[in-house]
Amino acid sequence: FKKPINLKALPKPLKQFILISTIFALANFSYMFYILKVQEHLGDSAVEISIMLYVIFNISYAIFSIPFGILSDKIGKGKVIILGYLIFLFTALGFVLFSSLKAFFVLFVLYGITYAIVNTNQRAYVSDLSPSEIKATALGVFHTAIGLAALPSSLMAGFLWKISPNLTFIYGGVIGLISCILMVMMLRDNKP
């Protein structure tokens, strides 16, 4: 039997990235808050429009996953993840500042692009940062950390929503900005 892997032995850049992605997961609350925001502003036709916007989100996610994967191969996954965090920041703030159907259409496309960048590249980056003998363990730690952050993320979003729906998206934008800054610092500190 192999002896168990000591999580303290994970490489420093990997631990830093898992921490940053977990912080970002605290802002990545349920898509239902985006749907609720649409319904709050569009009245009677909101249900049909919400479904259409959710479909647009999924189409955007599907269309942009491959191009952003190719881009990450060219310029580096870390830089593309920073772009994803920035787009998330602008998307969250867009839900604070705009409330027209056209704006929601653009924001759901951006939300899909964020997912296309972040979901695929974060996992790939964890693999890149992991020694080959512990890739599966590293991915397990990563998914556990962001999974554990999902519950408090939506609880915080719901708490803030009761105060003001805009606070939910301001919270998301602030955490997106913090994640972006931490990623920039991590890449700078771990330059070869």
Reported as a single tens digit per residue, the pLDDT across 142-173 is: 999 999 998 899 999 999 999 999 999 999 99
For residue 187, is pLDDT > 50?
Answer: yes
Phi-psi region of 138 (alpha: psi -120 to 50; beta: other; left: phi over 0): alpha
Quick one: which H or E segment has residue 174? helix 165-189
For residue 93, is pLDDT > 90?
Answer: yes
Q: Mean per-residue pLDDT for 25-32? A: 91
Reported as a single tens digit per residue, the pLDDT across 41-86 is: 887 677 889 899 999 999 999 999 999 999 999 999 999 999 999 9
Confidence of residue 133 (pLDDT cuts 50, 70, 90): confident
Q: List all residues 6 or more positions away from 41 whose beta carbon is below 8 Å from its beta carbon.
A: 99, 104
What does residue 190 show for φ and ψ, rounded to 5 degrees? Answer: -110, 25
d(CA 100, CA 90): 16
- Higher-confidence residue: 43 or 10? 10
Mean pLDDT value across the chain: 92
Quick one: which H or E segment has residue 148? helix 135-163
What does residue 133 show for φ and ψ, rounded to 5 degrees? Answer: -75, -10
